[in-house]
Amino acid sequence: MNQERKCANKPLRDKDGGPCLAQDRKPRGFYKCLETCDAELTALIVKLGRFPTKADFTNEGGNSLKAAYSRYHGGMTATRNRFGYPLSVKTHGHWKDWEPVETELLSIIQDLGEFPKIVWFKKHNRHDLLGALSRHHGGLTSAKNRLGFVADRRPHSFWKKWSNVKRELKPLIKKHGYIPSQRSLLRMGLGGLPYANANFHGGFEAVRKRMGVRGLDEATLIEHAVPVTRTYISISGSGSTFNSFLDRLFEICATERDLLMELDRLTANA
């Protein structure tokens, strides 16, 4: 059958509506379309909360997707650059830029629920990041200030109780109309909230639903993966990573209509 296959605009979905890469077979030429690849990669990034590693592609059934980028679309390094992520291999001078340092620190903070101390860097053999902070970014204290990080001294046990999380979220929702992003919460001195949401209360979406806050869900964002990716690439000169771009969309768009309007606005101003 020689009928030409049109470029797909949506990533494949599993029976529950989630992103699904591990299909048994795909039609010949399926991954030759860049938009199809970008849509599936966006779905995977939304699911993982970061750019996938080699192991992630394998575990999620995405080896064909990874191979397609190498064969048809300039390779994974070019793809990472288009999506605004640092290279997997830390090349010479990688840590001189603040962007990859900030991304790495925010990931660590979310896992820990606090800003890492020197002991943590040594214990986890992160001398590369610690050294970069000292050599290029003024040290730990300077990095804390640059992130706008305000220490949250409450113990992790405090955040295990839903009543405490709810009490902290209520005034934020009343003031903003939504739950602020991780970066914003850190700057408010509420670094324990992202940690609590991720580790004790089912993640951001579950917490938002439990609080009765309207907002985008992952399925809606994945449904519009192509325009989301295209818009990000068109404004990539702004210096933000794809993750921070997605965070912003989750934060300010309460409905699918809001999302489409925001994408139109960003594209028009690009």
- At residue 9, the pLDDT reads 44
What is the residue-level pLDDT of the chain in tens, covering all 270 positions?
433 344 544 444 554 555 455 444 577 788 899 988 998 898 888 877 778 888 888 888 888 899 999 889 888 888 888 887 755 445 556 788 887 788 788 778 766 767 888 998 988 888 888 998 999 999 988 888 887 776 667 888 898 999 999 999 999 888 887 787 766 777 777 778 887 887 888 877 788 889 988 777 777 888 888 888 888 888 866 556 787 788 778 777 767 888 888 898 888 886
201 part of a folded domain? yes
- What H or E segment, with its residue span, contains residue 8? none
Burial of 14 per CB tally in 10 Å (0-12, 13-18, 19+): exposed
Q: Cα 34 to chain center, whole Å?
A: 21
Q: Are residues 106 and 129 in the same domain?
A: yes
**Does residue 254 sit within a domain?**
no
Give helix then strand counts, H and E, for the chain. Answer: 17, 0
Give the Cα separation of 14 and 16 in Å (integer).
5
Looking at the DSSP assignment, which residues form a beta bridge with residue 13? 19
Check whether residue 142 and residue 105 sit in a common domain: yes
Q: Evaluate whether residue 9 is within a structural domain.
A: no
Is there a domain that residue 106 lies in?
Answer: yes
Q: Does 34 map to a domain?
A: no
> Which long-range CB contacts under 8 A does 29-35 form with residues at least 24 apart?
29/5, 30/5, 31/64, 31/65, 31/67, 31/68, 31/72, 32/68, 32/72, 33/7, 33/8, 34/72, 34/73, 35/7, 35/8, 35/9, 35/226, 35/229, 35/230
Q: Are 196 and 160 in contact (CB under 8 A)?
A: yes
* 199 and 164 together in one domain: yes
CA distances to 118, 162, 220 from 170, rounded to whole Å, are: 34, 12, 25
Q: Tell me: do 101 and 143 sit in the same domain.
A: yes
Residue 169 included in any domain: yes
The verdict on residue 25 lying in a domain is no
Specify the DSSP element, H or E, that contains 180. none
Q: What is the tally of structural domains in the chain? A: 2
In a domain, 130, yes or no: yes
Looking at residue 17, the DSSP 8-state letter turns out to be: S
The residue segments making up the domain with residue 137 are: 94-113+115-147
Are 99 and 139 members of one domain?
yes
